[in-house]
Amino acid sequence: MALKFLVVDGNVRETRERHKQSYGRTPSESYAHVLTTLAPDAQCDIAFPADEGANLPDSAGLDIYDGVVLTGSALHLWDMQPEVERQVDLARAVFHSCVPFFGSCWGLQVATVAAGGDVQKNPAGREVGFARNIVKTDAGMTHPLLTGRPLAFDAPCVHLDAVMAVPKGTKILASNAMTPVQAAEITMNGGTFWGVQYHPEFTLKHLGVIIERNAASLAENGFFQTVEDGERYAADLKTLNEDRQRTDIAWRYGLGREIVEDELRLTEVRNFIELRVRPEKSRRGRA
């Protein structure tokens, strides 16, 4: 049952290219790689709504897709510039199309604002590296998005902003001490979004590249004592990515199976494909 995804890159061109120089892929290319790894029959188109003049589908145009996925971004919803407004408008169109919709971090935030909620700088501060002790809510205990996750787990994350007010039609599925909305389902205009504030799609290498690139600002904000400490942390993550037997590194940073093992780390993305996209494709008679 071949699948067709639209991957929406939340970043402006400069950010995308900078990321590609350091990691080898843009954020949307990385996400498309994850989708096609989990679903080898999948094909992915990529959209760049942050770019002025981008050719974006409307609700009717979205009907050719079996799923829409929105990446993370360096932008902010509280800074409603045109490159942000276009993404919120596209999210509203996705809701209206009723195509299965998923997003990580920025994706959750955009869907929240599109449905009438609010996103601001997190009063608890930046959450970077790993979101610790994410706990399922009562709704999350039985929700298919979190099927296979334990009651509490850790996940890769990088974010300053957070959902401050959820829109009507939202089920909060998981939270932690830093961020009240770590996973959610949002419904609007007949459409349904599943999303997470963390980044299940991030490999340890991906996260290491981001931390290395931002080591100076992270040290300035107290996450590391020195830039060199940040660079060593990033190097350790990259090493563990290449050699999962380095239990000394995993122990040093308290990284359990939910982080180190790809199959577990990718739980939410896999659940979206297998428990939301494929059943909906079959229901719509598109198999």
Q: Are 198 and 131 in contact (CB under 8 A)?
A: yes
Residues 118 and 101 in one domain: yes
pLDDT band at 33; cut points 50, 70, 90: very high
Residues 212 and 102 in one domain: no
Specify the amino acid at residue 227: V
Residues 10 and 77 in one domain: yes
Residues 165 and 216 in one domain: no
The answer to whether residue 285 scores a pLDDT higher than 90 is no
For residue 271, the cross-strand partners are none
* Whole-number pLDDT of residue 51: 95
Tokens of 255: 């990284």
* Whole-number pLDDT of residue 280: 94
Domain total of the chain: 2
Whole-Å CA distances, 23 to 70, 227, 233: 19, 20, 17
Q: Are 104 and 196 in contact (CB under 8 A)?
A: yes
Residues 144 and 247 in one domain: no
Tokens of 33: 């790689």
Residues 118 and 223 in one domain: no
* Whole-number pLDDT of residue 215: 96
pLDDT band at 286; cut points 50, 70, 90: low
Residues 99 and 235 in one domain: no
Condensed to tens digits (0 to 9), the pLDDT of residues 59-95 reads 889 999 999 999 999 999 999 999 999 999 999 999 9
Mean pLDDT of 130-134: 98
Q: What CATH number should be reported for the domain holding residue 136?
A: 3.40.50.880
* Whole-number pLDDT of residue 175: 98
Name which residue leads in pLDDT, 287 or 27.
27
Residues 155 and 42 in one domain: yes
Mean pLDDT of 219-236: 97
> pLDDT averaged over the chain?
96
Range of the domain at 64: 3-201+266-283
pTM: 0.96
Q: Are 62 and 97 in contact (CB under 8 A)?
A: yes
Residues 225 and 83 in one domain: no
Q: Which of 24-38, 54-68, 99-113, 133-147 has the lowest mean pLDDT?
A: 54-68
Residues 118 and 215 in one domain: no
Among candidate residues 66, 64, 49, 76, the one with its CA nearest the CA of residue 101: 66
Residues 276 and 177 in one domain: yes
The answer to whether residue 287 scores a pLDDT higher than 60 is no
* Whole-number pLDDT of residue 55: 83
Condensed to tens digits (0 to 9), the pLDDT of residues 156-180 reads 999 999 999 999 989 999 999 999 9
pLDDT band at 56; cut points 50, 70, 90: confident
* Whole-number pLDDT of residue 283: 85
Residues 45 and 132 in one domain: yes
